[in-house]
Amino acid sequence: MSEWYYVRMERIENHKTPKEENEPESVLGEPEIAGLIAYRGIKPGSLPLIEQLAQVSKNTLINGMHNFFAFNRDAEALAALKRSAERASTEEQKRMYELFLAFTEQNDSYAARHLVAVLEKR
């Protein structure tokens, strides 16, 4: 084959559209998160919640959720998340509690506790 063919193929393989360059990578492909999804049987509707929770700052996550599910299980966790969202001092904290509330409602407190642990390690 001609040299032109190889140069052309190299350009095609290396070409990225602006949309591809600006799109953030999904956290769902990370091994720890994929393992959580498989092990806990996370419902498909919860996947966007995981994506959004992965964007919460690590400091906010650890301060607000580190031992949260150790002390609150199932129905207690739901009530505590609602109270925490109402009392949150920042918008980021409020959004985090609301996202965890939705995630826990769709799954359970054990899956939420597992998610906290995985997100803390990131």
Predicted confidence (pLDDT) per residue in 20-62, tens digit:
555 668 999 999 999 999 999 999 999 999 999 999 999 999 9
Q: Which of 122, 46, 60, 104 is nearest to 113 (CA)?
A: 104
98, pLDDT greater than 50: yes
pLDDT reported for residue 9? 45
What are the residue ranges spanned by the domains of the chain?
A: 26-121
Burial of 73 (0-12, 13-18, 19+ CB in 10 A): middle
> Can you state the angle between helices 74-87 and 109-121, rounded to 10 degrees?
60
106, pLDDT greater than 90: yes
pLDDT reported for residue 2? 52
Q: Which of 1, 26, 114 is nearest to 65 (CA)?
A: 114
Note the pLDDT tens digit of each residue in 60-91.
999 999 999 988 888 999 999 999 999 999 99
112 contacts: CB under 8 Å, gap ≥ 6: 69, 77, 100, 103, 104
pLDDT reported for residue 23? 60
Instruction: Confirm if 83 and 118 have CB atoms less than 8 A apart.
Output: no
